Amino acid sequence: MLHIAIPSDGLTLLNLKKFEQFDLPAPPGGIDSETNGNLVLSFEDEQQAVDYSMELDRFSETLNDVDSPRYKAAGEIMKAIGEDEFVQAYIQA
């Protein structure tokens, strides 16, 4: 199981409540929140995380306003997935 945390003090101040309000697609493994408010995305493996990132990319392309918090939140999640050390190792393998 792979867990990727999105800091709640990031660009969009994303937390579980905002994730749900933005109606973003949920990862297959679900979402949770840490005690400090960070959003945690769960995946079975690195490939599932990459696939979800691609799904979010397609989703964000459907949004008309690139300055919207929803668009920025999707970008922040994609960035966190891309920067995850396990995902990076998987992609480089």
Taking residues 18-45, report their average pLDDT: 94
Counting the structural domains of the chain, the total is 1
Segments forming the whole domain that contains residue 25: 2-92
Is the pLDDT reported for residue 64 higher than 90? no
Write out the two tokens for 24.
């973003």
Instruction: Please state, in angstroms and rounded to a whole number, the distance separating the CA atoms of residues 12 and 45.
Output: 26
pTM: 0.92
The letter for the amino acid at 84 is D
Instruction: Please state, in angstroms and rounded to a whole number, the distance separating the CA atoms of residues 17 and 37.
Output: 10
At 93 the pLDDT is: 85
Write out the two tokens for 2.
């792979």
Taking residues 61-88, report their average pLDDT: 94
Are 41 and 52 contacting, i.e. CB atoms less than 8 angstroms apart?
yes
User: How many percent of the chain have pLDDT more than 90?
Assistant: 90
